[in-house]
Amino acid sequence: MWFAAEGRPKGRPTTKVEPVTIDVVTIFPRLVEEALAEGVVARARESGKLDIRARDLREFTDDKHRSVDDVPFGGGPGMVMKPEPIARAIEAVEAERGQASAVILMTPQGRRFTQAEADRLSRMDRLIVICGRYEGVDERLTEMKVTDEYSIGDYVLTGGELPALVLIDAVARLVPGVVGDAESVAVESFSGGLLDHPQYTRPAVWRGREVPPVLLSGHHAEIDRWRSEQRRMRTLERRPDLLTADEAGASEWSEPSGANSSADQERSASVTTQARRGAGVPADKSKEKSDEGD
Q: Which residues bind ligand ADE (CB under 6 A)?
A: 106-108, 132, 151-153, 155-157, 159-160, 163
Tell me which amino acid residue 154 is: D
> C-beta of 169: minimal distance to ligand ADE in Å?
14
> C-beta of 102: minimal distance to ligand ADE in Å?
15
> C-beta of 89: minimal distance to ligand ADE in Å?
18
Tell me which amino acid residue 35 is: A
Helix (H) or strand (E) holding 276: helix 262-278
> C-beta of 214: minimal distance to ligand ADE in Å?
40
Report the residue number, 85 or 163, with the smaller CB distance to ligand ADE.
Answer: 163
Report the residue number, 151 or 235, with the smaller CB distance to ligand ADE.
Answer: 151
CA distance 24 to 156: 20
Q: Nearest-CA neighbor of 7 among 189, 232, 151, 242?
A: 189
CA distance 76 to 279: 53
> C-beta of 160: minimal distance to ligand ADE in Å?
4
Please, are residues 101 and 125 in contact by the beta-carbon 8 Å criterion? yes
Report the residue number, 165 or 204, with the smaller CB distance to ligand ADE.
Answer: 165
Task: Detail the DSSP E strand segments found in the chain.
Answer: 20-26, 50-56, 69-70, 80-81, 102-112, 126-131, 148-151, 205-206, 209-210
Report the residue number, 108 or 203, with the smaller CB distance to ligand ADE.
Answer: 108
Report the residue number, 89 or 204, with the smaller CB distance to ligand ADE.
Answer: 89
